Structure formats: C-alpha cells, structure tokens
Amino acid sequence: MKPLGKRLEGPMAAKSQSNDPKTKSPGSVSEAATHGQWGRAWEVDWFSLASVTFLLLFAPFIVYYFIMACDQYSCSLTAPLVDITTGRARLSDIWAKTPPVTTKAAQIYVAWVTFQVLLYVLLPDFCHKFLPGYVGGVQEGAMTPAGIVNKYEINGLQAWLITHLLWFLNSYLLACFSPTIIFDNWIPLLWCANILGYTVSTFAMIKGYFFPTDARDCKFTGNFLYNYMMGVEFNPRIGEWFDFKLFFNGRPGIVAWTLINLSFAAKQQELYGHVTNSMVLVNVLQGLYLVYHPVQLPTRYSLGVLLLGLLGYYIFRMANHQKDLFRRTDGRCLIWGRKPRVIECSFTSADEQKHHSKLLVSGFWGVARHFNYTGDLMGSLAYCLACGGGHLLPYFYIIYMAILLTHRCLRDEHRCANKYGRDWERYTAAVPYRLLPGIF
C-alpha cells in the first residue's frame, strides 16, 4: 500500500512540467512547441511508453502474484508457475483461493480514506483555533512552468501522530478492533487500494482535459496511456488547498505504512508469542515482510542493516533539507557550515517571463546531482536485507526502486537540460556524477 509517488526532483526540487498557454484543444503540440520546453517531454520515448503501459496493465497482477505466492506457496516465486505448467494446478484453482473484495474491507478502507481527508481539511483550522502560538505550516512550492507558485498547508506529521495515537489507544485501552485488522483483511484491502488508485487517476485525467486548475500547466503528449499514467496537470487541485499530489502521495498510503507494519507485527505476536528482530527492523526502517515465515537475524547482521537504513534515511532527508533550506532562503544560509556555492541560471515560463534561479552545488548536491535518490536506494536495500536471504521476493523492491529512480534521474535531467540550457551544462560540469560518485 505504499504509493510509488513522485519524490522531489532536481537540484532545486524543480518538479517542472511544460505547458501550453495558447492551447485551444488538448494535444495541440505544434502550438506548444513554440513555448518553453522544460518539463515532461512532448514526444514520449519508447522506453517511457513501454514502462507506463506495463505498469498500467500489469502492476496489480504482479502484486497479486507475489501475494498469492506467499499465501498459497510459502513465498516461492517459481512454484506457482511450475504447478501451472505441469498441470498440477489451474489458474482458476489459484484464483478460487484468493479472498475477494469484502464489504468489511470496503468499509474499513472508505473509513480510512475519509478520516485522512478530514484530517487534511480540518486539522489546519483546528490547530490555528485551539493551539496558542501555532503559526501554521504554510509553505510555497516550486514555480510551475506557467509561472505560478502554489501554497501548501503542511500538517502531515500532525496527522500521522494523531492517527497513531488513536491506533495505540485502541490497541491498549479501547479495543474497538483488533490491531491485526489490516493483516486479517490484507488482500481485500489491496483490491480496494487498486480500485481507488485507478478511480482517482481516471478523475484526474478527465479533470485535466475538461476543467484543469490552470490550463497553462497542462501537458498533452498525444499518447493516451502516457497522459493517463503521468497526468496532464502539473498540480491538480480542488479549491485552493486540496492538492491531489500532496494528499494521495502523503496520506492514505504513507500514514498507513507504519500502521501496516504494526498490524503485521501484532499478527506475528499473536501467532508465535513474540516479535522477531527482523520484524523490529522492518518496523524501525519501514517495510513489511512475511508474517508466516519469521526470520531471526544474527545480531551483527541486524546492526549492519540498521546502520545502512539509518544512513540512507539521513542522506535522503538531509539532502532534501539542504535543497529546501537553500530554496527558502534564496541561498542565504550555511550548507555544511559554509556559504553555499551556486550556479546562476535563468529560464522562461509560459507567460514568456524570464526568471532567474540558482542551482546548488554544495553539500550533498555537490557530491552527486541526485544524491537524495542514493540515500533512498540505501534505505530500500536495508528494507530488503532485513528480511534475510531465504527468499528472493523481498528483493524485488530494491530492483524496482533502482530501475525507477535511475529512469527518473534521467528524465529529470532531460527536463532540467531543456529548462536551463547552457546553465545546466555548467552545472553538470561542476557536479559530474548523477547517483554514485566516481561511477554513475
């Protein structure tokens, strides 16, 4: 249930997508070609198209295969295929053993998303009204290709704390539901999550075509599947504050992530009377793993995995913090105790206004151009290593993340090259490596 949402991209978190301010109808590429080309490519390359097509059509089935392999074949990835090819099992037999969407799971999921929507909408007003001295968490986003700077009410941490406080109150005092509720309804809940995902994507697609937040921040590539997967609006919103990206990237999935881990740990406690150190690692670092296959790791191995995960998390968070601090202060700050080095650059927005910006080449952003991704990959590897070496399945995550972030890195650099032109060439000369210093 972790959303594979977009991370901050680029040396200045310039999550930029191009636009077409004079478009009369969707997909008018010829007119748009005369305007700024920074942002997502107007013409989709074959790898990107193949990737989004594969994810749209097969991602839910891949996840289902993994779940079915764990549920019915003790987490063997090859046993189901062997049984099917040798005739020992049929697809219909496997599907018949798979729990369908249930009324209970649907009710749980609707209640969960509704609760998070209420926190997202009502928490800011509540904090301003009842917390003396609360100054709010309003932050400005990066400038869009249309030249717009959106404001965001940041209260995800408060929502996470309230949600988990209520979870523990229920687990230890109220007992309104079992802490194993997520595990016990795991597969039906996954169906619900997929239904919501495709529903929201469809709505966002329709909205981008017929009633966008700002038509100048829409981009139509001419390929329906790519538009559907990547979105056509830069920042789809309803009203002033309900931002689709901010909510769906950060609330239903991310807040639930640690609750999923806790529910799986509770199930392990229920089944075996104790929680293994691998499950503790998974809960500390994030992830989730196989409740029915507990793994007890050697102490030194556990400490090594923990250190790798914490180091990856530190790099990921601090790299993004340096970028955010640099952007908020317009470079008037200290990075690693020194005044930051910058590359002065300029770009043009859809309203044909020229803007000046700065690219950070100090701190982690002087080590590699996407060193935050490097930290993310270190953490992802730690999540997999926490599961031991008994199964291949957990390592799908690091393989997927490596492909995802490498491709995202290349796409982001393509956008930045189009946006900044020769200034980007100066930046790449100053910071020659993308992810791994000395290697890539």
pLDDT digits (tens, 9 = 90+) for 102-160: 999 999 999 999 999 999 988 887 777 766 666 567 777 777 777 788 888 888 888 88
Task: Give the model's pLDDT for residue 142.
Answer: 76
**C-alpha angle with apex 299: 297 to 304, nearest 5 degrees?**
90
Q: Please, which pLDDT band fits residue 182 given cuts at 50, 70 and 90?
A: very high
Paired residues of 233 in beta bridges: 218
Do the Cβ atoms of 57 and 198 come closer than 8 Å?
no
Task: Give the model's pLDDT for residue 162.
Answer: 92
| Distance from C-alpha of 407 to C-alpha of 358, rounded to nearest angstrom | 24
Q: Mean pLDDT over residues 288-308, rounded?
A: 73
Residue 352 or residue 233, greater confidence? 233
Do the Cβ atoms of 80 and 68 come closer than 8 Å?
yes
- Positive or negative, the CA dihedral 65, 258, 380, 394 is negative
The string of pLDDT tens digits covering residues 56-108 is: 888 888 888 988 888 888 888 889 999 999 999 898 989 999 899 999 999 99
Highest mean predicted confidence (pLDDT) among 135-144, 233-242, 260-269:
260-269
**Which of 27, 383, 89 lies closest to 232 in space, CA to CA?**
27
| Distance from C-alpha of 9 to C-alpha of 7, rounded to nearest angstrom | 6
Task: Give the model's pLDDT for residue 21.
Answer: 32
Highest mean predicted confidence (pLDDT) among 38-47, 155-164, 231-240, 371-380:
371-380
Q: Give residue for tokens 């680029």.
A: 10
| Distance from C-alpha of 161 to C-alpha of 174, rounded to nearest angstrom | 18
Task: Give the model's pLDDT for residue 419.
Answer: 84
- Positive or negative, the CA dihedral 413, 242, 228, 60 is positive
pLDDT reading at 207 higher than 80: yes
